[in-house]
Structure 1
């Protein structure tokens, strides 16, 4: 079992305990106040700083002091803390309103750093050597001397680890000198953030510093994989398509759905997740007048001209472009003036599997 710091036993902090199919919502601001890239220097509000070398060093100082910071990765923006400090990890759960049974991903700067935390089997190592840095998370057995806080693992004997490819994320981990746990930087259950403005809208009063690295490139969270008995199980589809994994693994990737009533073994497995305020309706062939429309390619959806607004995930039908636009367009389609968001049919191959996974969870009852 991973041995976290003595702060893991910190008694005064009450973590949110929410049922597996529930989420906690908090009132959000939609965007930073206009006119400044650094809104509200007051300690009550987050600072948004361009991700310069100086700002990365400042963020690393925050991490070493046990504070939270938000930072860009190639997938989505993360809410980061020192993985080895129990109080810092607890602060992530508190800031997001995240259920404490939902484990976190430890971000590392190299396979060598990962080896201080977990034990690689041969296939997992081959996948890491092929796809790291990049949008692949591996769930692996922890070393007996793993320094990561047990809060980050939700009491499991496994740890999810990933090496991001974004230069700001890697620079931050290296400057901090510790693995950084970082779920998406949004309130739990809401649409994931792909820009600093999205983070500010959700967490402006809960995180002191946001590193602005522009829009994320991939736009979907990482693919999460666990190898058991030499078989790769897909726990969460994401920014790395299963076809790419199978080409390296030499065997089929098996989708692991899990028990929806049980606590998850990896992030992103809750039935309701990634949800805007408005209801989401999939595979729409017609849009109602009180709905917004998320279109895809040249697919014709009847009633589109009457929709509250129309956003096309990819006019050219590119799944990579659609993935990069998904969360931003879900946020833009949402609003008090819409009763629902109709989504045109999305293919299921390649990154379409991950896009449909996010939309299915966004459409789930909540």
Structure 2
């Protein structure tokens, strides 16, 4: 390997993969009659709903907007208490605060860094039924949450579920009947959300998607996405003519333009190939680190493993844990390898500390944070680049 050559080329932890087909699709849309609110939006929504196996999909401006709309249609207000994980991007919790609701965190399973259902059960059982209104599990790193178990818990205590599947398009878990349940398919969650940020599986620059199997929630999402306005004559209180529309409630401008949806459509056409490549990269890392005691690879949930050795893990991230995380992070950067840390526990952020949270509240999350590092993981990562990353990680840990 020409290490000096690779060392001159930055290797990020994640990046978009743009092809000529992507460029052509965007150019064609730029030359069409619609730049926004046109046919590409519905085309992208239908294609994405088919991909994850959901009845409906609603495309929006970004993943955070998707979360906000979900909390709005589920009626989150000042009296709502919602449980989520501290190991996530803060938007998973912030969406509740946007509606004035109360966020409560539950600690993680140290093996997977997923929301620990036993901790959640202990929380809801300690309070009267109805005290908690919702749960937001996160398919962290692409590792799917067992939503069947969360659904049982939620039904028992009258909670809704929003699945934050931003890391996991194409991911799945195996349910108690041995059936594959795709992330975002709406069988166990009331709503699921995805992000199309450049480092995600499907990149549109910015963008997001909500999936659901509920007709009622779907119609409400469509309205709130566009200022709370409807043009459907069947839903209007009155109708003055073809131009007429009604703002029926306070909504938002969370629309996504047609150019980005055109890009999303072509990206989605390569999603399976990209996911297969991610799994191949993960396998190489797994084999490289299997015998190194000082490197612990973040585990995959048992429900994501199949008998034939395949995994439902979508591998948005490949996370290792090492004792001297800061040292390894700095060492890799010296060699132009830009690994990243996911995530700083949300409850330790100043905003949430001002709400009463403090360091020490969730020891498993904080222990995970002290050691975690996300290595480069994206479909266009070359074998030579990955070999260089592995070489440098091994060099540091000795």
Place the TM-score, normalised by the shorter chain, in its bin.
Answer: under 0.3
Greater RCO between the two (CA within 8 Å, min separation 6)? 2
TM-score normalised according to structure 2 size: 0.24
Q: Radius of gyration: which is bigger?
A: 2
TM-score by length of 1: 0.26
Question: Relative to total residues, which structure has the larger helix share, 1 or 2?
Answer: 2
